[in-house]
Amino acid sequence: MRTTNTRFNSKNQLQPADIRRYNWYIWRIVLGLFAFVVMMITLTIFDVFGQLPSFRDLENPKSNQATEIISSDKQVLGTYYIQNRSNVTYRELSPNVINALVATEDKRFYDHSGIDFGRSFTIFAHLLIGQKQGGSTITQQLALNLFSERSANPFKRIIQKLQEWVTAVKLERHYTKEEILTMYLNTVDFGAYNTYGIKSAARTYFNTTPDKLTPDQAALLIGMVNGPGIYSPIRHPDNALKRRNLVLNRMAEQNYLSEGQVEEYKRKPLGLDFHQNNHFDGLAPYFRSVLKKELQKIFKEQNINRPDGTPYDLDRDGLKIYTTIDATMQQYAEDAQRDYMKDLQAQFNDHWRGRNLYKSIHNFKFLLDQGMQKSDRYKQLKQQEKSDEEIEENFKTKTMLNLFTWHGNIDTMMRPIDSIIYCKMLLRNALMSMDPTTGYVKAWVGGTNFEHFKYDQVKNGTRQVGSTAKPFTYAVAIDNGYSPCMKINNVPDTIRGYGAPWCPRSSPSETLPGFITLRQALAHSQNWVTAHVMGEVKPEPVVDLIKKMGITTNVPPYPSICLGTFDASVFEMTAAYSAFANHGLWTEPTYILRIEDKNGNVLYTHTPRVVQAMNPQTAYVMTYMLKGVIEDGTGSRLTYKYGLRNPIGGKTGTTQNNSDGWFIGITPQLVTGLWTGCEDRDIAFQSTRLGEGANSALPIFALYMKKVYANAALGIKKNVDFDAPANGVSIILDCGAYNQQQQGTTEVDKKLGF
């Protein structure tokens, strides 16, 4: 038996020559594979399998990056984007994010030069048999994120993997580890809701910034990197929780967290503060909409292009737009509008409840037809070649609609034609607030809800200005030497020479009888005295002043302009009043400070125009006149109801049939204009008590200013009065002294026989 085994072993034992031959075969295979890999890498380097990114491409990776609109107090008001991606620097990243990423995705990140060969040796075999193998380092993943999309074909994926290797090595040579981590976190996709990059993810899921992410929050977000769909905390919270805890465990394995910390964080819920991204999220959506068109205009007119000569794309090029908007003041303005407009809309609804709209509102049927034809539903039905009868039937058939209310959007079954009536009966509102000395716009509320009503009423919309135009006429009179103490008999005064004779109406209940001063006439918005002053100073100088104060709409030289029969925007009227508060200087409203590209290079800076609209004395006297409106005039509820007794000037305005309600308030540091009305001028309060600017616009100003004054950090001081001109004031403002002078002059005149 032993002899047989010996023979068997001897017979089957490999001879040295056989071993050498087999070793040569193995080495030939190894060398062949090595040569093949070297050849493939060489071919990849020389772009045989497709062009690799150049050094310039590495310095300027092509990723859709959102343009950020930044407030004066360094808050991001919103973004323009195709992909909602905003970049951060390494200093803006919490160490928790870095630690979670390295522990989970590439624990030897700091030790390799782009490729971790220990993880990569088996990648080709796994790819060929269709299995996923986590062989990619963070640098390789960055290469894939920046320059290509993962192929589903295993053979193409091998080529792609080689390209990733070469690109990863290039990245490691040209960037530091910190820069690579930052670039990776700026480019990674965090799944649905248009969320790209860690900054967008932190804002979307936790309403915070990347530097403030806690270990559990960072673990949740990093856990989403390899499966943003399956690990979504919104759609699959259980999966997200398990994945977060796995990342926390890996952080402990790498000694970034202690075991005790990990157990503590595991016990915490997901703790989401979810904010879904869309283009009307954030503060000042109307402002951002107007701003975007203004930016496109600037780029075109100033010939501002990318280095390669192609036009900038606001949705992709990651620009930074630095604006004058103060995020805190903007929030106060939006809050004030929302808080009061709820109440005013309730007043409006009660006012119209039970009335037949078709009989009570002029042209109501026409307005509805017009609204229907402007609607998206009508346009879509027309594109489908529906007949007028079919369209009318569609608008009379109930369907599920989403409507705006001041208590939030609602889904309800309603006939589309009824939704048009509903929207027509909604009050709209606009506000702009600016620094009169710099022209910087601090707050901009262009409408009631941008999601549903996108038309901006601050700059794009113009409405009849009503009595807010009266100060222009009085300013011309003051410039001609009139005193606010001059008394005029408040009786009808017909003006001739400008077409048909013209004399305004005056409500008996609101007319002050007898002789009243110019200051009283402006304070109580008296039409007859205003018309008398217009008759004295003539329309042409008033038009000239209005144009100097920045009103660009058509203002015909007719006497009726003293009562505000022309149209203007909130933007223009607010800027015009800034000249009263700024020593007669009209400063162009400015809302863009500068534009930078994604690398911080300044592309554009704005310098506002300044015009001396009136002399400083006239401007100062007009502030005295406008303070009378608040102290004892149509704006007095600012004092007795809202308790604002500091130096404030202003003017209310109410147009014919109460179609438009205005209030413009001025302080030495802030001028704020407001308008309220319906979309169509035929729809309005039937009561002046409710529809006047003192009720429809002034309260929003009051709520806004109370919040502004309460925040000392804003620097808007309450007890600062308007500065007198450096050369003094020759016009007498003390009516007692003025009366004595007038009487004294009369006595002298009599004695001299004049």
CA distance 440 to 582: 13
Please check whether residue 142 is in contact with residue 114, taking contact to mean a CB–CB distance below 8 angstroms.
Answer: no
Residue 720 has a pLDDT of: 94
313: part of which helix (H) or strand (E)? Answer: none
Count CA atoms closer than 13 A to 527's CA, side-chain side: 24
173 φ/ψ angles, rounded to the nearest 5 degrees: -75, -35
pLDDT tens-digit map of 563-588: 999 999 999 999 999 999 999 999 99
In the sheet with 592-596, reading across from the earlier edge strand, the strands are 76-80, 67-70, 320-323, 592-596, 602-605
Q: First CA to last CA across the chain, in angstroms?
A: 160
Residue 218 has a pLDDT of: 93
Please check whether residue 434 is in contact with residue 589, taking contact to mean a CB–CB distance below 8 angstroms.
Answer: yes
Q: Which residue has the tokens 């889904």?
A: 411
495 φ/ψ angles, rounded to the nearest 5 degrees: -105, 130
Contacts of 431 (CB under 8 A, 6+ apart): 333, 336, 337, 443, 444, 445, 458, 570, 672, 673, 674, 700, 701, 704
Domains of the chain (ranges; CATH) run 55-59+85-267 (1.10.3810.10), 428-736 (3.40.710.10)
Please check whether residue 673 is in contact with residue 577, taking contact to mean a CB–CB distance below 8 angstroms.
Answer: yes
pTM: predicted TM-score of the whole model, two decimal places: 0.78
Which parts of the chain have pLDDT scores under 50? 1-8, 44, 48-49, 55, 126-133, 747-748, 750-754
Please check whether residue 92 is in contact with residue 344, taking contact to mean a CB–CB distance below 8 angstroms.
Answer: no
Please check whether residue 553 is in contact with residue 567, taking contact to mean a CB–CB distance below 8 angstroms.
Answer: yes
Please check whether residue 692 is in contact with residue 679, taking contact to mean a CB–CB distance below 8 angstroms.
Answer: no
Please check whether residue 224 is in contact with residue 190, taking contact to mean a CB–CB distance below 8 angstroms.
Answer: yes
Picking from 200, 209, 190, the residue whose alpha carbon sits closest to that of residue 278 is 200
Residue 278 has a pLDDT of: 64
**Amino acid sitting at position 615:** N
CA distance 357 to 367: 11
| Strand 320-323 relative to strand 410-414, pairing | unpaired
Residue 133 has a pLDDT of: 45
Please check whether residue 604 is in contact with residue 302, taking contact to mean a CB–CB distance below 8 angstroms.
Answer: yes
pLDDT tens-digit map of 496-530: 999 899 999 998 889 999 999 999 999 999 999 99
**Amino acid sitting at position 394:** N
Taking phi first (over 0 means left), then psi (-120 to 50 degrees means alpha), and beta for anything else, what does residue 315 get?
alpha
Q: What is the CA radius of gyration of the chain?
A: 36
Residue 79 has a pLDDT of: 86
Residue 7 has a pLDDT of: 44
Residue 754 has a pLDDT of: 43
Picking from 284, 443, 331, 276, the residue whose alpha carbon sits closest to that of residue 292 is 284
Output the CA torsion sign for 129, 131, 137, 138. positive
Residue 492 has a pLDDT of: 94
Please check whether residue 651 is in contact with residue 470, taking contact to mean a CB–CB distance below 8 angstroms.
Answer: yes
Picking from 232, 249, 238, 321, the residue whose alpha carbon sits closest to that of residue 104 is 249
